[in-house]
Structure 1
Amino acid sequence: MAKLDEIAELLTEEINGFEKSIDRLEKAHENLQNLPLRPDTTEISALLKDYGNNQKKIVEDQQRLMQRILQKVEKSLLLPSWAIKLFWGLLICVLLILGFSIYQVSRISKKEEAAYIKGQDSVMGLYEAFLDESPEAKELYQKWLEENGKK
């Protein structure tokens, strides 16, 4: 029985140790219950909701921009580079011809004046030759000038 007494003593000590451990666990549990640690996810939820709304707005803006870009691309006209070069070449030729024509038109009055003076000199030379060949006509012309007050 001595062994039984020893085993009973050991069991009693173990039970006492176990009870002490349970008391410590209960105290720790009470301390944890009194701590103000409550998980609050309202701020995280609000942040996630704001982020989701911002992302939704950004996606909508990008879709609107993409639609405008697609509309502009559809309305655009694609011309080959040779057609553009030909157009510019023709435009330059037209401008050169137009400029030369304007220059020539502006010189017409000077040409007309020069031709008039040349014709006048030629006619005067013919009249002088006629009057030199015909002295009677020269006398009649001189009389006519005197009557009209010219010389």
Structure 2
Amino acid sequence: MAKLDEIAELLTEEIRSFETSVNRLEKLQQEIKTLKIQPDSSGIDHILKGYNDSQKKVMEEQNKLLANVIYHTKRSMALPKWSVKLFWALSVIILLILVYALFQVSRISEKEEAAFSEGESNAVRHYERFMEENAEAGVLYEEWRNAKGKK
């Protein structure tokens, strides 16, 4: 029986501690019921206001960029691909013609010198042949040249 008394004593002790715990919980529950909690959303409001301001700035910048794109789009001119290709082809052809013309102009002095040399040699050959064919003319020319040199 001693064991039973011991167990009963332990059980009563446990029941008392359980009762005190329940009493404490009831007191806490009463305090919680009487406690008035006022929600404070000022921190969240501040964060949301900052986010709203930044979003407004982003939207304003995007609207400016969009207005700029619309402005340039309205001022732009759409051209068919074939006309752009034709323009570039003609530009290249004109550039090649100009380069060729400049090359030819730079060679004019060389051509003039070659033509002068050829004309000079043709004239000398013509006079030599004339002098060979007409011996009288050669003699008269030599007399004239010697007379002119003596003066």
TM-score, normalised relative to structure 2: 0.67
Partner of 2:132: 132
CA distance in 2, matches of 1:27, 1:139: 155
* Runs (5+) with no aligned partner, structure 1: 1-20
Deviations 1:29-88 (CA, angstroms, capped at 9, x unpaired)? 3466579x6532211111111111111111111111110111111111111001001111
Distance 1:122 1:31, change over 3 A: closer
Shift of 1:94: 1.0
User: What's 2:97 paired with?
Assistant: 97
Once the two structures are superposed, the pairs formed by residues 45-60 of structure 1 within 5 Å of their partners are 45-60=45-60
Decide whether aligned partners of structure 1 residues 40 and 138 sit closer, same or farther in structure 2, where only a CA change above 3 A counts: same
Letter in 2 for 1:100: Y
Tell me, in whole angstroms, the C-alpha distance in 2 between the residues paired with 1:57 and 1:88.
Answer: 44
Q: Secondary structure at the match of 1:79?
A: coil
One-letter code of the match for 2:105?
V
Q: Which residue of 1 is the match for residue 30 of structure 2?
A: 29
CA-to-partner distance for each residue in 1:77-110, whole Å, 9 max, x for gaps? 1110010011111111111221222222222222
Q: Which stretch of the first structure deviates more once superposed, 108-117 or 131-140?
A: 131-140
Matching residue of 2:87 = 87
When structure 1 is superposed on structure 2, of 101-110 and 140-149 the one drifting more is 140-149
Partners in 1 of 2:149 and 2:53 — Cα distance? 107
Q: Distance in 1 between matches of 2:122 and 2:28?
A: 141
Q: Distance in 2 between matches of 1:93 and 1:133?
A: 56
Distance 1:33 1:144, change over 3 A: farther
Specify every segment of 5 or more residues in structure 2 that has no aligned partner in the other structure, as ranges: 1-21
Q: CA RMSD in A?
A: 3.2
